Amino acid sequence: MGLPRITLGATAVVAILAAITISARLGGALEDEREAALFDPASPLFCAGVRTPSTEPRLVCAASRASFLAEAHASGLAPEACASASLPARAGAGCLVVVEARGSACAVVEVGRLPAATALICGARLDVNAATEAELALLPGIGEVRARRIVESRARDGPFPDAESLDRVHGIGPKTVDLLRPWIVAGGAE
């Protein structure tokens, strides 16, 4: 009797490879400043999705944000015109950019969202005021029950003004908020 075959979808394989790349890039134990750099937009590792209008999205982890499109081109995922192009300001870690060649120029024709699990692997933060219950359940220490409570609290009491206000949710205290801080933002709160 042979071993069962395990098949992973392309997204899962890419997510695993990205996690391995991030782990290898960061090395063993992280110092405080290196740990903070993991979530810094100026961090030396920049991951996002890229596709052309006629291809499926693929994840690219580049040495920097500035080299993202050149590395996407070098990987065969972006047209040659993108080899010397740069991303628009609205394209951040964990986004999905759609690129195409327009003459000799590279055009970013769309900036969208990657699935939450992939975006989190890329270092993007999840907006607790916009995330779905399923997306919130992906966060460390949350799970399905706390995710449901966050959504219910948001609907009942309004948006969370900041990360600390998550402690208004039953089952979430200061320790959980500290655990979540690198993974979340409270966008759209006014």
Q: What is the pLDDT of residues 135-185, one digit of tens each?
A: 999 888 898 999 999 999 999 999 999 989 999 999 999 999 988 988 888
Cα 45–48–50 angle (5° rounding)? 135
Over residues 39-48, mean pLDDT: 61
> Residues 57, 58, 61, 66: is their CA dihedral positive or negative?
negative
Q: What pLDDT is attached to residue 154?
A: 93
> Residues 19, 20, 25, 29: is their CA dihedral positive or negative?
positive
Q: What pLDDT is attached to residue 44?
A: 55
Q: What pLDDT is attached to residue 16?
A: 53
H/E stretch holding 23: helix 10-26
Over residues 7-35, mean pLDDT: 44
Question: Does the pLDDT value for residue 84 go beyond 60?
Answer: yes
pLDDT band with cut points at 50, 70 and 90 for residue 63: confident
Cα 100–104–106 angle (5° rounding)? 35
Helix (H, G, I), strand (E, B) or coil at 83: helix
The two tokens of residue 170 are 């039953």
pLDDT band with cut points at 50, 70 and 90 for residue 2: very low
Over residues 119-132, mean pLDDT: 85
> Which is higher by pLDDT, 21 or 96?
96
Task: Specify the DSSP class assigned to residue 51.
Answer: E
H/E stretch holding 17: helix 10-26
